[in-house]
A = this chain, B = another copy of it.
Amino acid sequence: MSNSALVLFSGGQDSATCLAWALSHYEHVETVGFSYGQRHRVELERRPIVSSALRQLNPDWNTRLGIDHLLDLSVLSEISDTALTSDTKIAMQENGLPNTFVPGRNLLFLTVAAALGYRRGINTLVGGMCETDYSGYPDCRNETLQALESALQLGIQSTIHLETPLMWLDKSATWSLADKLGGTDLIELIRTETHTCYLGERGTLHAWGYGCGECPACELRARGYEKFMA
* Contacts from A to B (Cβ < 8 Å): 69, 71-75, 78-80, 82, 84-85, 87-88, 102-108, 111-112, 114-116, 118-121, 138-139, 141, 143-144, 147-148, 150-152, 154-157
Contact = CB atoms under 8 A, between A and B. Distances in A.
Given A69-B82, A82-B69, A108-B108, A156 B118 contact: no
Given A88-B120, A148-B151, 4 more contacts: A85-B120, A102-B119, A104-B118, A108-B112
B151 A144 contact: yes
B147 A118 contact: no
Contacts of A121: 84-85, 87-88
Contacts of A105: 115
A37 to B, nearest CB: 12
17 contacts: A71-B75, A71-B79, A72-B74, A75-B75, A82-B119, A84-B120, A84-B121, A102-B115, A103-B156, A105-B115, A107-B111, A107-B155, A108-B108, A138-B156, A139-B155, A148-B151, A148-B155
A135 to B, nearest CB: 14
B148 A104 contact: no
Contacts of A108: 108, 111-112, 115
A198 to B, nearest CB: 20
Say how many copies of this protein the assembly contains: 2
A74 B75 CA distance: 9
Contacts of A118: 88, 103-104
A82 B155 CA distance: 20
Nearest to A86: B121
Contacts of A73: 75
A148 B79 CA distance: 20
A116 B151 contact: no
Contacts of A74: 72, 74
A148 B144 CA distance: 10
Contacts of A80: 119
A104 B112 CA distance: 8
Nearest to A100: B119
B72 A75 contact: yes
Contacts of A84: 119-121
